[in-house]
Amino acid sequence: MFLASLATLVLITFTLSSGKMKAEEPRTREMPDMSSSSSVSFHDGNDEHAVDDMVGIMTHCNETFRFDPAYWQSLNESGTFPDENDKNPKCFIRCVLEGTRVASLDSVFDAARAAVVFAGERGGRYMDDLETLARDCADDRRETCKCERAYGFMKCLMEAEIEKYEVYKADDS
C-alpha cells in the first residue's frame, strides 16, 4: 500500500533531516511562500523521476512543512488528519502532490498520474481502480486554498480506498 510506504518514507525523512545523515537533494529551486500563487518545480520534467525521487521530494517538502508523523498514520487508517485545522500537513500534501505531478501548479489533479504514484494494495487486494477513484475525487473540488484543495483530494481518495478495500478485507475474514 502506497500510503504505508509513504508513512515509512516520512519517518525516514524526519530521521534523515534531523540526524547526521542527509538525504540526496532533489533537483529543486528554492521553496516559495506556499500561501502565494507561485509554486515549485521539483524535477527535470521526467515523470518517472518524480516517482523515483519520492524521498527527495518528501525531504524537500518536510524542510518547509514540518508536522507530526502520526498524521500519516491517521490519514492511512481513517482518511483524515487528527487536527484538520493544522495547515502544515495539508501544505506538505500539496507540496508532495505537486512534486510528483499528481497536482499541477494550478491545483488540477491528474487521475492517471495519481494511479501510478499511489499504486499498491489495501486490505490485501491490489487497487486496480485508483484512476477512477482519483478522478471522482478530483472532480468538483471547490476549495480555493491550494493546501486545502490538496488535502481534500487526498482525504477523498483515502476515504474511498478505505471504504472499498478495507470492506473487502473485512468480508474475507
Set out the domains of the chain in order of their start, with CATH numbers. 2-172 (1.10.238.20)
Q: Is the pLDDT of residue 111 over 90?
A: yes
- pLDDT tens column, 49-78: 455 678 889 889 989 998 788 898 999 899
Measured between alpha carbons, how far is residue 95 from residues 5, 20, 99, 150, 164 in Å?
Answer: 17, 25, 6, 9, 27
pLDDT at 165: 86
Mean pLDDT, rounded, of the chain: 75
- pLDDT tens column, 132-162: 999 999 998 999 999 999 999 999 999 999 9
Q: What is the arithmetic mean of pLDDT over 9-37?
A: 34
What's the angle, vertex CA 134, arms to CA 145 and CA 167, rounded to 5?
Answer: 115
Cβ neighbours for 117, distance < 8 A, ≥ 6 positions apart: 2, 50, 51, 100, 102
E strand spans, the chain: 121-122, 125-126
Amino acid letter, 17: S
Paired residues of 125 in beta bridges: 122
Q: Is the pLDDT of residue 84 over 60?
A: yes
The structure's pTM equals 0.71
Q: Is the pLDDT of residue 80 over 50?
A: yes
pLDDT at 4: 46
pLDDT at 43: 42
